[in-house]
Each structure stands twice: as structure tokens, then as C-alpha cells.
Copies of this chain bind each other. A is one copy, B any other.
Amino acid sequence: MHLDTLFSPQSIAVIGASTKAGSVGYTLTENLLKNGYRGKVYPVNPKTDRLFDLPCYKRVADIPEAVDLAIIIVPADIVPAVLREAGEKNIRAAIIISSGFKETGATGKALEETVLTIAQEFDITLLGPNCLGFLHPKIGLNASFAKHLPHDGSIAFFSQSGALSTALIDLSVDTLDFSHFVSIGNKTMIGENELLRYFAKDENVKTLGFYTEGLTDGNTLIKIGREILARAEAKPIIVLKSGTTTAGESASGSHTGALAGNDATYSALFKQARIVRAANLEQLTHFLTAFSHNSLPENNRLAIVTNAGGLGVLATDAAVTNGLRVATLSQETQEKLTTILPKAGSALNPIDVLGDALADRYRAAMEIVVADDQIDMLLVIVTPQTMTQAKETAEAIVSIKQHTPKPIIAVFAGKVSFQDGLAALQKNAITTVTYPEAAAEALAALAQVANWRKETSPTPFSPENPDHEKAATIIQAAKNAGRAALTEKEASEILIAYGFPFFATSLVNNKEEAASVAEKIDKKVALKIVSPDIIHKSDVGGVILNVEPKDAGEAYEKLMAQVKEHVPKARLLGALVVEMAEEGGQEIILGLKKEPGLGTVVLAGLGGIFVETFKDTALRFAPLTREDAEEMLHELKAFPLLQGTRGQHGIHLETLITMIGRLSQLAEDFPEIAELDLNPLLSFPKAENFRVLDARIRLEK
């Protein structure tokens, strides 16, 4: 793809440039010209000869020189023709601003497909359609109809919603500096994955962020996210995903046609891709600021310096709730603090410099705290008291930050009194927020990414010799027969081929066979009559439970006699000898679910009430690593039950982890599996006792 050409073009044709002030064609051309872009701009519009004091061309073919990028603003139905002309002119990149495609329904969707085909035919790299364009501040390029070009910086951001982009730029002009800001619209060719990959390689980019209403390739996102995380230089990725509720999904459907999935699935996806998920738009802005201004911390030990006890408490609560440690200061640090603080101050953490603290006391306290090895990051709170020196305190923070790699966020909890102080902080790339809780959340996000960076390389699962061929044969047979739902027998055979344990079961026809089969099973068995004439076996004495292997022959005879007595005319075809379950098994539910476009999710949870009422399940996309599987189990609220609690045995965790690995392998080997349920898998302290009770598999239609 020609993404360099798209984002750093030497020349641009604006197809649909307009003289009508306020129109998109006008605004976009004006934006290209007024922000210092040094490439050439060629307005194209059959109705006029000049525009913005530039020659205007009737058609793109008329432009006398080569063109890198076409920006297309014509009505949707003319877009294919215009794009073809661009292709014929050897233009390698295009933005389709126009709407009227996939988002409007079936006709629009067909039109969008036509456009994509043309782009592929002419090797055009396509942004949009139904987008706002992009901004590339470093080269003064505002190829969008957003009003303002942000300051040049190190955040690459892209958004499925154009309006959200303009809001974000407008809101953050003092606090966020962007390398690129891209509206991706309908994502026909360029989606999230393409841009993450591209911007991760750009040395001007330090932080990546995006807003999405739905993704289409989860597995690739996981791969890209982990690759970016593993780079020598950290480039954290932040996402805001909307459509977390059914109503929200449907609202998003109504305006972009995004295929929104289950929200828990997305949380699992982002976690697995090591992408930080912001809870809301405000948090997104805080996270982007905090990541772009700060290096990652060594660890999660926080110090709080405050001139307001109450806000120190709020910060402490939020820090702990979000997984930070409000660290114990070293004895030495406490002693040093005591020398510079008034008697009523607190040399414990949060460090209370008191309401009358001038900038010097703040500076001294911060210097001492930042030098402490037990501290990884600093949250400074300043409230407007009578004597507070906002500007000077801000300057102290700036100078501390210049001499430490530790993250610092400043809470300036005031407005009227803090204009100068805030300006000083913002000018010097210090992250400031108004409320202490927001600061703690942002620092916790930094610590989360730092923690991810410490992970050792993942351990892939490698199930022992799955009988792939057998499973493939069964699946193919079902497909050939046009069946999506596999039979119980087919499902269990596939699972047995992948090493899942089912109860041993054999049809026997006489006493001797019964005895020999039962002795082979070597555990208590049940005997069940087999007869085409009997439906309710138990009612006619057709089931005998808890038979010791040595008694199986005798039990067979008893079974036959009982049934004959009850239903003399029934045809008896023998009996099933079925292994009995060990007692006290813990029901586990494992499953696969294909999320169309995203990938296949592996689900784990405890059976019964835990899944149904408490919704206590964990999700990960296949393929999983061993670490993923372990994380899943630890995520379950009921994990203590698996681990063993209250003097009760847990289950053999290693076996469960192995089974999750086998499921992941199945999902990878057979992407046509739409749904698979092991419900339940009976699990035990001993590996050899695990058994699947019931299994279901459904294929994609």
C-alpha cells in the first residue's frame, strides 16, 4: 500500500473543489492552502476555471503534472468514474470524503464494492469513503474539513467517527499534539490494523490511539498489538470502543453500519492485543496526554504530594482501585521530608505539604520523593489556597520532570486561579488534569503497559498429536451432507481425536463381555439396556448404577431379567457398559464461539449458576498462549474453587490448561467451527479423572 504517498503527498488534486463558502469542497480546499502545506494543490471542478486564485481543472486528466493524492468530494454515484480517471492518471492514493456508501444500505454497499475493485485495479491506496480526511501537522497538511490543524507532536490517532475527531482536536489543542490524525470512515481498504502497522514504524510517532465502533480482524490485531508492544521503544496503543450496550450497538449500526460484537469479547481482544482500553471519551484524552508526555514507569509504586488532604484521599482511593500501590516511603525519605515540612504536614504517603505550601516547599518535597528508589511515579495535587503559587509551583514541576524519567501527572484542581499555572504546565508537556481520580487512572494505565512490557515471550500450546485427519474427515462429511449441527457422536469423536477424555462406553451382548469390558474400564460402571422398544430405561429396570467391575457379569444377567419381567415383548439388543463418573467433580464449561470477522473466542467458566447467574466467564481469542490460558482461569471470580479453598480440594489446573490449549488448536485448525460447547467438563484433583459429559459442535453455514 502507498501509505507514504497518501500521508505525505507532493501534490494533491481536489476533485469536487468548490467556490461555495461553507461547503465541504470549499472548506477542504481552503484547509489545504492555509496551513503551510508546501506541495502542489490542483482544484478540479468542471464549472469553474479558477479557485482560490489557482487554476481549476475540468477533469483530473487535464492536470499537466503528476499527482500523488486525489481527494474526492463528488456525490457517491459519480465516485467510481472519478476514481477510474484518477487511476488512469496514475494517482496512487485517494481519499473519498463523500458519503452514501455502505452506511446507507445495500445499494451503497454495492457501490462501495465497485469503488474498491477500481482502486485495486489501479493500485490506488484508498482512505474512506464516508470520512473526514486526515491531518498531518508536521508538513502543514490539513487534508480534511476539520477547522483546526493541531500542533505537531507524537500521537498518531485515527477514528471511525469523523465528528469525534473534530471534537477531539478542538478540545485538546492545548494538551494533545498529533503526528497524524486520520478519519477512516467506512474502512474499505485502510482499517485499524493497516494504520497501526504503518504508524508503529514511523519514528515521529510515540503513542498510538484510535476510536472504533467495531473491528473486522481480531487475530491480526492481537498479532500487531503484541509486535508493537515488543519493540525496543515503547509505543503504547490506546483505544476507545463504543457500542458497549445493545442500544449503543444499534445506534452505531444506524450510522456507520459497523458490525459490532459483544463488548466482553472486545475487552478480551484488547487485553490480548495489549492495547489499553479507555472507559470513555474523557479518559481517552487523559490517557493520550499521559502516554505522550511520559515514559513508562519501572513499576506501580506511586507517591502523592498534595496541599489538600481530602484530594489526597481521593487520589489514594482511585490509585488503589486501579491497581497502583501508594508506596511506603523509605525511612530516609520520610526523615528528609520531615525536615522540610511543617509539623502538621504528613511525611507519609500521601505527602501533605499543607494548604500554605509555597512553590519552594512543593519543589523540595517533590525532589525528595522522586529521588526515592521505592517510588516509580508521582501525582502532584495543587488546590487554590490563599497563598498557593500556581505558576511557580508549575515551574517547579516542570524542572523536576526535566530531571527524572519517572512519570508525573499534575492535578491542578482550580480554574479561576490557575490559568498561568496551567499554561506553564501545558507549554512544557506536563500532563495536567483537573481531578485526582483521573490522574490516578492515567498513571495506572502507564503502569499496566509497563507491566505488559516485562512479560517474557509467550509459550505457544502444542497439543500432543491431535488426530487432525480424523477430525477433518468427520467435519467434511457433515459439510458434504449439508449439516451445520454435528451429531453427539461426531462431536465426541472430533474431541476424542484432539485428546479430550469421554466416558468409556461399550455395547455388550452377554455376561462374559460385560465382565471383560468392565474389568478393562477398571472403575465402577453403569449398565444400560439397549432396545429400540424402550424409551424410559429406568422405569423398566433397564439401568443399574455403581456396579463394581467384578460384579458386572452378574449385573448383566440381572438387568436382562428385570427388563424381561417388565416388558416381555421388547427386543433386547444387549447393554451399554458405561464408566461411572468419580464423585465430587467440579463442572467446567469450555467453548468456542466464532465472532464473524473478529476470530474465534475460547470461553472458560464454571458450570451452572456461575456461568448462568454470575456470568463468570473468561474469554480469549484463538490461538492462545499458555499464559493466556492461565490468565483466563485467574480472571474467573470462582478461581478459588478451581485452586482449592476452605480445606476443599481444587482441580488439576494443568490438565484444564492443556484442554484449553487443545480447544485453541481445534479453533485454529478448523475455522469453520461456529460454536463448540463442552458442557460440562467434569474436573477433578487427579488428571486422569477428567471427563467430558456432553459436547456440541456447530459449523458455519
Chain A interfacial positions (CB closer than 8 Å to B): 22, 24, 27, 99-100, 104, 145-148, 159-164, 166-167, 170-174, 211, 213, 242-248, 251-252, 254-256, 280-282, 307-314, 316-321, 326, 344, 346, 348, 350, 352, 355, 383-387, 413-418, 434-438, 609, 612-614, 616, 637-638, 640-641, 645-646
Q: Are B437 and A281 in contact (CB under 8 A)?
A: yes
| Most chain B CB within a 10 A radius of its CB, from A255, A282, A416 | A255
Give the residues in chain B near A163, CB-CB below 8 Å.
Answer: 307-311, 355, 383, 385
Q: Are B242 and A317 in contact (CB under 8 A)?
A: yes
Q: Are A27 and B386 in contact (CB under 8 A)?
A: yes
Complex CA gap A638/B612 in Å reads 10
Which of B145, B167, B255, B413 makes the CB contact (< 8 A) with A346? B255
What would 12 more interface pairs be, CB under 8 Å, given A170-B414, A243-B313? Answer: A22-B387, A104-B344, A164-B310, A245-B316, A245-B320, A247-B316, A247-B319, A248-B314, A251-B312, A252-B310, A609-B638, A612-B645
Give the residues in chain B near A436, CB-CB below 8 Å.
Answer: 281
Give the residues in chain B near A282, CB-CB below 8 Å.
Answer: 434-435, 437-438
Complex CA gap A434/B280 in Å reads 12
Q: Are B161 and A247 in contact (CB under 8 A)?
A: no
Give A414's nearest chain B residue, CB to CB: B170
The verdict on A166 contacting B318 (CB below 8 Å), with A313-B243, A645-B612, A645-B613 known, is no
Which of B24, B352, B383 makes the CB contact (< 8 A) with A166? B383
Q: Are B414 and A309 in contact (CB under 8 A)?
A: no
Q: Are B641 and A609 in contact (CB under 8 A)?
A: yes
| Most chain B CB within a 10 A radius of its CB, from A247, A307, A344, A417 | A247
Give A103's nearest chain B residue, CB to CB: B344
Complex CA gap A280/B417 in Å reads 22
Q: Are B255 and A309 in contact (CB under 8 A)?
A: yes
Complex CA gap A27/B387 in Å reads 10
Which of B146, B159, B314, B355 makes the CB contact (< 8 A) with A281? B314
Closest-CB distance, A107 to chain B (whole angstroms):
13
Closest-CB distance, A408 to chain B (whole angstroms):
20
Which of B256, B307, B314 makes the CB contact (< 8 A) with A309? B256
Closest-CB distance, A93 to chain B (whole angstroms):
23
Give the residues in chain B near A350, CB-CB below 8 Å.
Answer: 251
Q: Are B309 and A346 in contact (CB under 8 A)?
A: no
Q: Are B211 and A162 in contact (CB under 8 A)?
A: no
Q: Are B437 and A326 in contact (CB under 8 A)?
A: no
Give the residues in chain B near A646, CB-CB below 8 Å.
Answer: 612
Q: Are A159 and B640 in contact (CB under 8 A)?
A: no
Q: Are A310 and B242 in contact (CB under 8 A)?
A: yes
Closest-CB distance, A483 to chain B (whole angstroms):
29
Q: Are A242 and B166 in contact (CB under 8 A)?
A: no
Q: Are B248 and A313 in contact (CB under 8 A)?
A: yes
Q: List 21 A-B contacts (CB under 8 A).
A: A22-B387, A148-B416, A160-B310, A164-B308, A166-B308, A167-B308, A170-B415, A171-B413, A172-B415, A248-B314, A254-B348, A255-B310, A256-B309, A280-B437, A282-B435, A609-B640, A609-B641, A613-B638, A613-B640, A614-B614, A614-B638
Give the residues in chain B near A437, CB-CB below 8 Å.
Answer: 280-282
Complex CA gap A167/B418 in Å reads 10
Give A636's nearest chain B residue, CB to CB: B613
Give the residues in chain B near A27, CB-CB below 8 Å.
Answer: 386
Give the residues in chain B near A383, CB-CB below 8 Å.
Answer: 163-164, 166-167, 170
Closest-CB distance, A353 to chain B (whole angstroms):
11
Closest-CB distance, A128 to chain B (whole angstroms):
15
Complex CA gap A350/B255 in Å reads 10
The verdict on A243 contacting B317 (CB below 8 Å), with A386-B27, A609-B641 known, is yes
Complex CA gap A41/B646 in Å reads 68
Complex CA gap A554/B88 in Å reads 105
Give the residues in chain B near A415, CB-CB below 8 Å.
Answer: 170-174
Closest-CB distance, A381 to chain B (whole angstroms):
9
Give the residues in chain B near A309, CB-CB below 8 Å.
Answer: 161, 163, 251-252, 254-256
Give the residues in chain B near A251, CB-CB below 8 Å.
Answer: 309, 312-313, 316, 326, 348, 350
Give the residues in chain B near A145, CB-CB below 8 Å.
Answer: 385-386
Give the residues in chain B near A246, CB-CB below 8 Å.
Answer: 320
Give the residues in chain B near A344, CB-CB below 8 Å.
Answer: 99-100, 104
The verdict on A281 contacting B311 (CB below 8 Å), with A247-B317, A326-B251 known, is yes
The verdict on A22 contacting B318 (CB below 8 Å), with A251-B312, A251-B350 known, is no
Give the residues in chain B near A638, CB-CB below 8 Å.
Answer: 609, 613-614
Closest-CB distance, A134 to chain B (whole angstroms):
16
Closest-CB distance, A212 to chain B (whole angstroms):
10
Q: Are B170 and A384 in contact (CB under 8 A)?
A: yes
Give the residues in chain B near A280, CB-CB below 8 Å.
Answer: 314, 318, 435, 437-438
Which of B211, B213, B314, B417 makes the CB contact (< 8 A) with A170? B417
Give A148's nearest chain B residue, CB to CB: B416
Give the residues in chain B near A160, CB-CB below 8 Å.
Answer: 310
Complex CA gap A386/B417 in Å reads 33
Which of B166, B242, B384 makes the CB contact (< 8 A) with A313? B242
Closest-CB distance, A449 to chain B (whole angstroms):
23
The verdict on A244 contacting B281 (CB below 8 Å), with A310-B163, A312-B255, A415-B171 known, is no
Give the residues in chain B near A146, CB-CB below 8 Å.
Answer: 386
